[in-house]
Structure 1
Amino acid sequence: MPLALAGLPPTPVPLSRTADVPHPERALARGELVRVRQGVYAPTELWRSLAPWDRYLARVHAVALMYPNAVFSHDSAAALLGLPVFGDPVVVHVLEDPLGRSRLVGGIRVHTHSGDREILEIGGLLATGIRDTAVDMARSRHRAVGLSIADAALRADPSLDAAALQACNERRLSKRGRAIARWPLARANRLAESALESVSRAVTEWLGFPEPVLQVRFPTTDGGHDRSDLVWEQASVAGECDGGLKYDGRFGQAEVVQARQRERDARLRRHVRAVVHWGWRDAVLATSLRGILTGAGLHPVAREDASALFSLRRALAPVPPPTGETTTDAPTHR
């Protein structure tokens, strides 16, 4: 019996099945509808206005409309659980019993499994649980993506820790992806507050920089505190994962937000020697982040992992950041 979980993210755009639309082919020809998947349609204007990760959530809901008993996994479970979704992965992932066979049909990737995953009911839909979704993603995606999902899983479920994720990975009957998953799962940390922070942690390690301390609090003169995302205490450098999206107007006028940021940086500089900022493009391209950190006086202590950095650019660029996050200047990713 699946465990029940409240809070299903609703479809971000109205969806209609063929039976609900008179003459859908005519509406498609007139440009009034787009086909989300075979037999499911959405209003064109609304669809075009969606962020990539919201389009993907709509694709998952479209599959649920056609297959209400489907068990969603991987990116699709992440979307339903509120975990980071990078861009629009397009393909929807579902589980099937071990007697079936893995396959890709009509935009749906079917995975076989051995019954070793927790299944949740989320607002009437079925999906793998947070722990198992994190392990699935760590086994099947780039290590930086796996780390982002693992960090988010720990934030979402206080009962989880990195050891629990690692144990789940090692218990799986299938060995596929087990070794790949060990790197992100061992580094999972709920203190990383966004996917950009998680990716930045991975990139700074691959660039050879020392490990930062996360979410360091610095006291202010009024009895409060400022908190910095990543701090290299020995070098006295504070790193802030934000970028341009912070100034797009959603938090008030850009000049007001920038003034507050300058004031905050000035307060931080009472405690550290340098404060630096970066966004998604800087982290994914890595060379930009390297320049920002070395310019602040931080020096590598290990050899650069060029292979991991190259594969990261292939995996994410130009993907923008996860839904609801405020730490990106990338062109478009959730």
Structure 2
Amino acid sequence: MPILLAGPQPAPIPLLRTAEVPHPERAVARGELARVRPGVYVPAEAWRDLAPWVRYLARVHAVALGYPDAVFSHESAAALMGLPVFGDPMVVHVLQNPLGRSRLASGIRVHTHRGEREILEIGGLLVTGILDTAVDLARSRHGAIGLSVADAALRADPSLEAAAMREGNEQRISKRGRAVARWALSRANRLAETALESVSRAVVEWLGFPEPALQVSFRTNDGGHDRSDMVWEPASVAGECDGGMKYDGRFGPAQDVIARQHARDARLRRHVRTVAHWGWHDVVPAAPLRDILIGAGLRPDAPEDTAALFSLRRALTATTRETNADGRDRG
């Protein structure tokens, strides 16, 4: 049985209906309000300050105001369950009766489906179950995005196994996207802690480098442990996925964070030859990550998948570092 979430991710900003705002069009013209969708408005300044994926969560809640019985799917279900969302996908996804018609109107994509879907109620909203959400996105999105969601689904529900997601994909009546989904679902691993780690795993493979071990712990002199995101034991290389939040002040002054990182790297180098660091700006174009790994002493042992790397750039360039990273681009 899946773990039932106590409630969905809440609306990140006050949502105001037309009836609650006198003359909303005038408020929009004055720059006081922004329209999220027909009949739903938000404070404009607060809206501008929201991260793209947080804006998307607000869009989903805005649709729920008008369609309380909607069953949210794809990125919309992922947003409500706290799974990774890349940028602001803009379109809200809902399921329709199998006898209905798929369509896109007013920012809502209606999907028809054949076969069973698990539907969960969380906080009064209906969403596709976590397994079905992961399979939907693995079938319909870039492999790196599918892998990120599948990894996060395993972290969110400790009772869920990757084998169950693979089986769910194979058992669907529709063949559309089945073969595409196999790549991500066959690699899903709950040890990948953020979307950056998941996308990094994909790029490492497509660059032709050997597969790393994930979340390897090393004992420190005081009896504690340091854990590295990725380790290539034969080459004695550790890899650290550094997102932007590490240096934005929420973990203390940047110079203190850097000092702690240097001290940690020094401890890790008692166990490995070198420690490599990279972020979204290295992973999405791929070539910088290739240079970093080669500089650390790794060598590819398989041909590069140029098509996958090129399509990754197209899929993620507009949303580089714009992901809730499961979380939150934790760095």
- Where does residue 274 of structure 2 map in the other structure? 274
Distance 1:205 1:110 in 2: 34
8 Å CA contact 2:196–2:243 kept in 1: the answer is no
8 Å CA contact 1:195–1:321 kept in 2: the answer is no
Letter in structure 2 aligned against 1:10: P
8 Å CA contact 1:196–1:321 kept in 2: the answer is no
Letter in structure 1 aligned against 2:328: E
Letter in structure 2 aligned against 1:62: A
CA RMSD of the aligned region, Å? 1.3
- Where does residue 164 of structure 2 map in the other structure? 164
**Percent identity between the two aligned chains:** 75
Determine if the alignment matches structure 1 residue 325 to structure 2 residue 322. no
- Where does residue 175 of structure 2 map in the other structure? 175
For the residue of structure 1 that corresponds to 2:149, the secondary structure is helix
Once the two structures are superposed, the pairs formed by residues 8-23 of structure 1 within 5 Å of their partners are 8-23=8-23
Letter in structure 2 aligned against 1:49: D
Provide TM-score, normalisation by structure 1: 0.96
Report the alpha carbon displacement of residue 322 of structure 1 after superposing the two structures with TM.
Answer: 2.9
Determine if the alignment matches structure 1 residue 47 to structure 2 residue 70. no
Distance 2:5 2:310 in 1: 38
Distance 1:102 1:14 in 2: 31
Deviations along 1:232-280, one digit per CA (max 9) or x if unpaired, are: 0100000000144311111001111110000000000000001010001
Letter in structure 2 aligned against 1:8: P
Provide TM-score, normalisation by structure 2: 0.97
8 Å CA contact 2:115–2:172 kept in 1: the answer is no
Distance 2:112 2:265 in 1: 51
Distance 2:3 2:142 in 1: 29
Deviations along 1:304-332, one digit per CA (max 9) or x if unpaired, are: 0000000000000131243242445xxxx
Letter in structure 1 aligned against 2:34: V
For the residue of structure 1 that corresponds to 2:250, the secondary structure is coil
Report the alpha carbon displacement of residue 60 of structure 1 after superposing the two structures with TM.
Answer: 0.1
Report the alpha carbon displacement of residue 115 of structure 1 after superposing the two structures with TM.
Answer: 4.4
Uncovered stretches (5+) of structure 2, i.e. residues with no partner: none
For the residue of structure 1 that corresponds to 2:235, the secondary structure is coil
Structure-2 change in CA distance of 1:34 and 1:309 (3 Å): same
Report the alpha carbon displacement of residue 88 of structure 1 after superposing the two structures with TM.
Answer: 0.3
8 Å CA contact 1:3–1:120 kept in 2: the answer is no
Distance 1:255 1:265 in 2: 15
Deviating runs (4+, > 4 A) in structure 1? none
Uncovered stretches (5+) of structure 1, i.e. residues with no partner: 329-334
For the residue of structure 2 that corresponds to 1:285, the secondary structure is coil
Letter in structure 2 aligned against 1:94: V
